[in-house]
A and B are shown apart, each in its own frame.
Chain A
Amino acid sequence: MDKKKPKKIFVQGAIAPEKIAQSIANHQSKTNIGAHSIFLGQIRADEVNGKTVSAIDYSAYEEMAESVFHEIRETAFSKFNITCAHIYHSLGKVKKGELCLFVFTSSAHRKIAIEACNYFVEEIKSKVPIFGKEIFEDETHQWKTNK
């Protein structure tokens, strides 16, 4: 079944909006689903001391990240009655305005889909070893920390 397969979380570069549209289309044959919840993380052009972020360069402790993510996924499927869940996170450079995180949960009803989606986002932000270098327009950088 869907939940048993180890899933790859990382994609190189930005997540294309077309991938999201295609993912939605792929679920039209699954008619036991009544609700989808989607979270999209987008690169914000933050201003820090007069400089503007132009991109984030993501890196990760990939082996650990995949295994932590697998645990999050297993826990999510045991906590929430979701039909399926698809999660992608960028590695490498993602420019301002582009997407770096795509979380897509589906269920028979909205509440479960929404709660599961939030659960994935919060767990990914706090537990998965992903690191972000915020690159400014003048090519200097600082390291991002999740609040």
Chain B
Amino acid sequence: MKVNIKYFGMIAETANRSEEVLEVAPGLSAKELKDQQIRKYQISDPDAVQLAVNQNLNSEVELKEGDEVAFLPPFAGG
């Protein structure tokens, strides 16, 4: 199944892309996807990376076809 991934801030810079569509195994959790992409792009400080699945901050969910998963570095508004 396919999921849409978005990268922001320093993560987009490290991964050298702001989005991609990935083919993943059914039943993959957001947490597993996070670990996989962090290894793939060697993203530093993984504990500071938050995942939003369909705009909700939650990495415990199982992914579904067409989900939008955003990799978010620490917030810096204001």
Binding between chains A and B: yes
B55 and A131 form a contact (CB under 8 A): no
Q: Inside 8 A of B72's CB, which chain A residues have their CB?
A: 61, 129, 131
Q: Inside 8 A of B48's CB, which chain A residues have their CB?
A: 145
Q: Does A63 contact B (CB under 8 A)?
A: yes
A84 to chain B minimum Cβ distance, whole angstroms, is 21
Answer whether A144 and B76 are a contact pair too, CB < 8 Å, given A59-B9, A64-B55: yes
Q: Inside 8 A of B74's CB, which chain A residues have their CB?
A: 143, 145-146
A117 to chain B minimum Cβ distance, whole angstroms, is 13
B78 and A131 form a contact (CB under 8 A): no
B59 to chain A minimum Cβ distance, whole angstroms, is 15
Report the separation of the CA atoms of residues A121 and B78 in the bound assembly, to the nearest whole angstrom. Answer: 8
Interface centre among A63, A121, A131 (most CB of B within 10 A): A131
A123 to chain B minimum Cβ distance, whole angstroms, is 10
Q: Inside 8 A of B55's CB, which chain A residues have their CB?
A: 61, 63-64, 67
B75 and A146 form a contact (CB under 8 A): yes
A125 and B78 form a contact (CB under 8 A): yes
Answer whether A59 and B8 are a contact pair too, CB < 8 Å, given A100-B78, A101-B78: yes
> How many Cβ-Cβ contacts under 8 Å join chain A to chain B?
68
Report the separation of the CA atoms of residues A101 and B70 in the bound assembly, to the nearest whole angstrom. Answer: 24
Q: Does B52 contact A (CB under 8 A)?
A: yes
Interface centre among A89, A100, A101, A130 (most CB of B within 10 A): A130
Report the separation of the CA atoms of residues A132 and B13 in the bound assembly, to the nearest whole angstrom. Answer: 12
B77 and A143 form a contact (CB under 8 A): no
Report the separation of the CA atoms of residues A35 and B74 in the bound assembly, to the nearest whole angstrom. Answer: 34
Q: Inside 8 A of B75's CB, which chain A residues have their CB?
A: 125-131, 146
Q: Does A86 contact B (CB under 8 A)?
A: no
Question: Which B residues form the contact surface with A (CB < 8 A)?
Answer: 6, 8-10, 13, 48, 52, 55, 70, 72-78
Question: Which A residues form the contact surface with B (CB < 8 A)?
Answer: 41, 58-61, 63-64, 67, 89, 100-101, 121, 124-133, 143-146
